[in-house]
Every structure is written in structure tokens, then in C-alpha cells.
């Protein structure tokens, strides 16, 4: 590959030391620079930069986000809702803040039903969980260009999906004899496009109990605090004031080395404000979530990787939402490209679409708690049944994969119900390592780190051969001519890719045996491959456009224009102007100096033309 063009390589991403493909790390993707430790060699010492932390904020975020009131708030949240229970109406949205926030009737209905646990859950006291629902179509997407820029700097698995909202819920149910129903039932819900589960969970833990005591004036003060927050800039240590507390956190960037979490230091405040450092904005407690299905983690990784239909049946929304989020994150840094619902109810607007028996179950992961689903989703191929999630004080017992026909009700024993046969042989080493941790009472955080590293290395071993092959689809450097359109990428050929696996397959980075070829064949038909390949294709095409621009800049364009007719020269000027617009519109990976140089070329060509043409071309924006 040495003679081929490198696909887009983020500045600051570390090479792997492999001469043939060290440039294969895409934005937010998995690359050879992100290889598992087996191939990469020892980790850098304390002096080595574990991540390329971006501590310089892009120009003008504050200016951009202070154009209008609530712009800063909107960068983090869409709105805050309070959902209560009315004896006549049932669940109802009592408050939406800020008051100008827009939600359609369908969205409000979804929020109402998803903000309360099913009646069978019996959640007394305080419960936290999250849900995800579709935005109504035909709505304007309103966020400024700066927020769009921030999204591009995120790892692919943290990018916003403009078609969905997340709802982060703090639900309280306590006995209250003064109420007709005998119970106080209310949910405080944060609606956001951002998948920052841990951040919003921490926020709710701080503000919800006080809100239930103090009511709306307190909520207004909370929202005013959020409207003073800096923009959610990836890579920068942010300080977020919240009712006398300061939360410190860092949002990851696509430049970070996968598997590393930079520690946000708890700095001493000069004033009396309390500071809280968040170790992560988005990660869930993996080990705690996977404990009930401890022995099947590798099979579950395969099912998620392949985009298979999965149902998680749990006793409460807290367990269902955490487990679904853990499943989605287990193929990180690959993005899970299908739909997933951490908590799904029979009232959901997609209920009929997802439970119909007239077609095969869709590629989606559903978290459910209503016993009705045990019958409705009996035809689904893979069902995970979990009991109350508790951290094991003893070593979990080996649980066999159960046959689907044995799953009759939600009361069935915990376990995985499926007839799926994994492609890869079981990795006994990770099971022993985690079992030993339970025996030695290793903290759950440490167990989660081990599990996350295991999933990361497994995913990287799987994706590196694909990265390497896709890099070979880039045209040669000599194929780029400033006087022709940029060359096209070669077509992806499944057969050609499969031939590369014999010498450059996952065996280079993983000791796991099994039918890797079968796993790849299945993966190439999945939504996750489609999403990953489209993303890589777009990046590589943009890289070709950027290299074509650089080739144009290195030509003596004024000299060329003097040898051609005025019509051809005007045509060139218009094409060059369009190139500049395209570079800006598509955010091509081009240096600012290159763009300035091209603009100078355009100006020089125009000045060499007759005055009447100069006037026309200088006034022409496109």
C-alpha cells in the first residue's frame, strides 16, 4: 500500500509502527493505529501521550452560541419535561421548559408513556432510566453551523442522530394518603439529541430530588444555569455550573486512542463551590449490566455486531435501559447502525411496526418490561431475560443457552434464549479473569475496564482487515491530475476481500479460533457494515477531492489561462469558485493555506482578464 494514497488520517493520531497501513485510522473509526495490544506492543509510559487531547477551543463558540437566549441551553438539551399522573387523563406532560420548546403531539404522547415504568415493575421510591424515540418527520433541524462542527470532531459512536431524541428520566413514586390514588407519581425528564447517558444521569441525581420539593421556580433556575454552559466541545475539559455544583468533564474526540479515558482532575476551587469530576460522559457500568448473562458475552458481541434482532426482557426500565446501552456499546468503536430502544412499551408509536408477525423481525435491540411482550415477541430469534441486576458476591454459575420454546412468560428463568450458534470459539480466558475478580472482590469499575478492553480488542481484530482492504481501494497518487475530475474509488469486492484474510486476517491480532470467514460473510450483509462502509467511502472521496484541490494549487493557473481562450478561462474561474464552495460546504480536509492559495490564483486570473469580464466575475458569487 506504500505507493497508494493514504485515506484521511486525523492529525495527531498515532501510527502503529506498521509500514504498510499505519495511516488507516478514520475519523471515529477503528484503524491500524488502534490495534490490539498483541500487535501494537507495549503501551506508552507516563510520558507518552495517551490521547491527543484538544484543549484549544475552536474560534468563536461563545459568539455563535450567544446570538439568542437559550442557544447555549439548546446545545445540550432540547427541553425539560415534567410528566405527572392524572386520574382522568392518565400520564400527562405538566410542564415543558423552556416554554417555547416545540414538541409534536405524537412526541408528547411517546414521552408520557416512556417516562413511567410499566405498572407491573412496582418501582417504589426513586428510579432512573433512559429511553429513545423517533423525532416526528418534517421538522426543521435547528442547530447552528458551529454545533455541526462539534459533531464532526466526535467519535463515530457519539455522533448525534438527528432522527432520534433521548429521554433521561428520574421517576419518583411514594405513598401519599392526601392524593386520591394514594401515591405521588412524577417524572422529571431531560430530552436531548446527545447520547451522554452518564452526564445526564448525574445531573438528574443532583437536581430531581430538590425539584420534587421546590417545584417550578427551581426548574427555571436549573435551566438558566444550563444556558450559561460552554458549548459541548469535544476534547476540552469543560466546567458546567449546576445549582452551586461544578461538574467537570471531557467529551471524547475522534483523535483519542480507543480504550483510553483521560482522567479529569478535580482541581481545588478558590471559592466555596463544590466540584465533581465525571470519569465519562457516555459509558455505562458494563460488568454490572452483563453479570446476569456473564457466560454469553462473546455470543452477544457477535449478535450485536451482525445487527441481529434482540429483545432484553427485564423487571424494570432501569435494568432494561442499562442492558440495551451496554449491548450497543460492546462493539465500540464501531457504531451500532440499527435502531435501539433502551425502554420500549406497548404504547410506543413503533409498536405495531416492530411486533408484526407478517415479516421477519427488524434489526433492532428492544428493552421491555411488560409481560405482554413475552407472548408478542415469541417469534423473535434472540431473547435475553434478566432478573434484578445485582453485583455478584459469589462466582456466577454457568448458565446454558436456552431454547426459545422454553420462554413462555416474563417469569421464565434469566438467561439467553436463542438457537444461534456462534462463529467463534469461546474465549475461556476472559471468563476466568472476571471470575477471579469476583472471588477477589475486585471493584466493579475495574471489572468493567477489563471487559471493555476485551470487547475493544475483539472489535479491532475483526475490523482491521476490513480497514486494510478498503485502504487499498484508494487510487494511486499519479492518477490525480489537476485537469481531470478526481479519480473514483475502486469497487468493494467481497471475493477480493476474503482472499486477503489468509495472510492479513484477524489471526494477526487475535488468538481466537473459529469460523472468522463465516462471521465476515454474515457481517457484510448487515446494517453495521453498510453504515461503516458508507462512512469510510465518504471520508476517502473527500480526501480525493482535497488532494485534487492541492494539485490545482500547485499548478501555474495564470500561465495556463494566458494560453487559453477567454471562454475557457471564465469556465476555469467558475469551476475553481465552486471548488472553494464545496470545500467549505463539505468541510473537506484541506489546509487553510491551500484554500487561501487557490483564492489568490482565482484573483490573479481575474485581474489578467479584460475589465468588463473582471467586473462580472468579481460580482459573481458562484
Determine how many CB atoms are found less than 10 A away from the CB of residue 472: 15
Q: Give me the pLDDT at residue 146, please.
A: 59
CATH fold label, 71-230: Beta-Lactamase (3.30.450)
Three-state DSSP at 4 gives strand
Residues of the chain with pLDDT under 70: 1-67, 87, 119-122, 138-148, 259, 261-274, 388-400, 402-412, 620-622
d(C-alpha 434, C-alpha 447), whole Å: 7
Q: Name residues whose C-beta falls within 8 Å of residue 243's C-beta, 6 or more positions apart in sequence.
A: 206, 207, 210, 221, 222, 225
Q: Name residues whose C-beta falls within 8 Å of residue 137's C-beta, 6 or more positions apart in sequence.
A: none
Q: Where in the chain is the domain with CATH 3.30.450.200?
A: 71-230
- Residue 316: name the closest of 409, 387, 391 by CA: 387
Q: Where in the chain is the domain with CATH 3.40.50?
A: 286-449
Q: State the cell numbers at 232.
A: 459541548
Q: Pinpoint the alpha helices (H) of 194-250.
A: 197-214, 216-226
Q: Give me the pLDDT at residue 11, please.
A: 37
d(C-alpha 366, C-alpha 321), whole Å: 9
d(C-alpha 95, C-alpha 216), whole Å: 9
Q: Give me the pLDDT at residue 396, please.
A: 55
Question: What is the separation of C-alpha 256 from the centre of its chain, rounded to a whole number of angstroms?
Answer: 14
d(C-alpha 238, C-alpha 250), whole Å: 6
Q: State the cell numbers at 618.
A: 468579481
Model pLDDT for residues 296-314, shown as the tens digit of each residue: 999 999 999 999 999 999 9
Q: Give me the pLDDT at residue 249, please.
A: 92
Model pLDDT for residues 117-130, shown as the tens digit of each residue: 986 666 778 999 99
DSSP state of 476: B
The second-level CATH assignment, the architecture, of 286-449 is: 3-Layer(aba) Sandwich (3.40)
Q: Which residues make beta-bridge pairs with 416?
A: 384
d(C-alpha 318, C-alpha 13), whole Å: 37
Q: Name residues whose C-beta falls within 8 Å of residue 352's C-beta, 6 or more positions apart in sequence.
A: none
Model pLDDT for residues 46-92, shown as the tens digit of each residue: 333 343 334 434 444 444 444 678 889 999 999 999 999 876 778 88
Does residue 403 contact residue 309 with C-beta atoms inside 8 Å? no
Three-state DSSP at 533 gives helix
Does residue 174 contact residue 152 with C-beta atoms inside 8 Å? no
Q: Give me the pLDDT at residue 258, please.
A: 75
Q: Give me the pLDDT at residue 103, please.
A: 93
Amino acid at each position: 500500500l506504500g505507493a497508494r494514497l493514504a485515506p484521511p488520517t486525523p492529525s495527531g493520531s498515532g501510527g502503529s509502527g506498521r509500514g504498510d497501513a499505519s495511516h488507516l485510522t478514520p475519523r471515529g473509526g477503528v484503524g491500524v493505529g488502534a490495534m490490539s495490544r498483541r500487535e501494537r506492543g507495549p503501551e506508552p509510559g507516563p510520558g507518552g501521550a495517551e490521547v491527543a487531547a484538544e484543549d484549544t477551543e475552536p474560534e468563536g463558540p461563545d459568539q455563535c452560541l450567544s446570538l439568542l437566549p437559550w442557544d447555549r441551553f439548546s446545545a445540550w438539551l432540547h427541553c425539560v419535561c415534567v410528566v405527572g399522573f392524572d386520574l382522568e387523563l392518565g400520564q400527562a406532560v405538566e410542564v415543558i421548559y423552556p416554554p417555547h420548546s416545540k414538541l409534536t403531539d405524537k412526541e408528547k404522547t411517546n414521552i408520557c408513556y416512556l417516562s413511567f415504568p410499566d405498572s407491573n415493575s412496582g418501582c417504589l421510591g426513586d428510579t432512573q432510566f433512559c429511553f429513545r424515540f423517533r423525532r416526528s418527520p418534517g421538522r426543521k433541524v435547528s442547530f447552528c453551523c458551529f454545533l455541526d462542527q462539534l459533531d464532526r470532531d466526535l467519535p463515530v459512536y457519539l455522533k448525534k442522530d438527528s432522527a432520534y431524541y433521548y429521554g433521561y428520566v428520574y421517576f419518583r413514586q411514594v405513598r401519599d394518603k392526601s392524593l386520591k390514588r394514594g401515591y405521588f407519581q412524577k417524572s422529571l425528564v431531560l430530552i436531548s439529541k446527545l447520547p451522554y447517558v452518564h452526564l445526564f444521569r448525574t445531573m438528574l441525581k443532583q437536581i430531581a430530588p430538590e425539584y420534587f420539593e421546590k417545584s417550578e421556580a427551581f426548574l427555571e433556575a436549573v435551566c438558566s444555569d444550563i444556558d450559561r454552559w460552554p458549548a459541548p466541545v469535544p476534547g476540552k475539559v469543560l466546567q458546567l455550573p449546576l445549582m452551586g455544583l461544578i461538574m467537570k468533564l471531557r467529551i471524547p474526540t475522534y483523535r483519542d486512542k480507543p480504550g483510553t479515558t483521560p482522567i479529569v482532575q478535580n482541581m481545588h476551587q478558590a471559592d466555596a463551590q463544590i466540584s465533581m469530576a465525571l470519569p465519562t460522559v457516555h459509558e455505562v457500568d458494563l460488568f454490572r449490566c452483563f453479570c446476569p448473562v456473564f457466560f454469553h458475552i462473546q455470543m452477544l458481541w457477535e449478535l450485536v455486531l451482525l445487527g441481529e434482532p434482540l429483545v432484553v426482557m427485564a423487571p424494570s426500565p432501569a435494568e432494561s435501559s442499562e442492558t440495551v446501552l451496554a449491548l450497543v456499546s460492546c462493539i465500540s468503536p464501531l457504531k451500532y447502525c440499527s435502531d435501539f430502544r433502551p425502554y420500549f412499551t406497548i404504547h410506543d408509536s413503533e409498536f405495531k411496526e416492530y411486533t408484526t408477525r407478517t415479516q421477519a423481525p427488524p434489526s433492532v435491540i428492544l428493552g421491555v418490561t411488560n409481560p405482554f411482550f413475552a407472548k408478542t415477541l415469541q417469534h423473535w430469534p434472540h431473547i435475553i431475560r434478566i432478573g434484578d441486576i445485582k453485583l455478584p458476591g459469589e462466582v456466577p454459575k454457568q448458565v446454558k443457552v436456552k431454547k426459545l420454546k422454553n420462554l413462555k412468560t416474563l417469569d421464565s428463568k434469566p438467561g439467553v434464549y436463542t438457537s444461534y450458534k456462534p462463529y467463534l470459539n469461546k474465549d475461556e480466558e476472559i471468563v476466568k479473569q472476571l471470575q477471579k475478580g469476583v472471588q477477589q472482590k475486585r471493584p466493579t469499575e475495574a471489572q468493567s475496564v477489563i471487559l471493555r478492553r476485551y470487547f475493544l480488542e475483539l472489535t479491532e481484530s475483526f475490523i482491521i482487515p476490513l480497514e486494510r482492504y478498503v485502504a487499498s481501494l484508494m487510487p494511486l497518487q499519479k492518477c490525480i491530475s489537476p485537469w481531470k475530475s478526481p479519480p473514483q474509488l475502486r469497487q468493494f469486492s467481497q471475493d477480493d476481500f476474503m482472499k486477503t484474510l489468509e495472510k492479513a486476517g484477524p489471526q494477526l491480532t487475535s488468538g481466537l479460533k473459529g469460523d472468522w470467514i463465516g462471521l465476515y460473510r454474515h457481517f457484510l450483509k448487515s446494517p453495521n457494515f453498510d453504515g461503516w462502509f458508507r462512512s469510510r467511502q465518504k471520508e476517502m472521496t473527500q480526501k480525493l477531492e482535497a488532494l485534487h484541490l492541492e494539485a490545482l494549487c500547485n499548478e501555474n493557473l495564470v500561465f495556463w489561462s494566458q494560453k487559453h481562450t477567454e471562454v475557457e478561462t471564465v469556465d476555469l474561474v467558475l469551476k475553481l469558485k465552486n471548488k472553494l464552495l464545496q470545500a467549505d460546504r463539505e468541510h473537506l480536509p484541506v489546509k487553510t493555506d491551500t484554500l487561501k492559495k487557490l483564492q489568490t490564483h482565482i484573483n490573479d486570473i481575474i485581474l489578467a482578464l479584460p475589465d468588463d469580464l473582471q467586473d462580472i466575475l468579481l460580482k459573481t458569487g458562484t
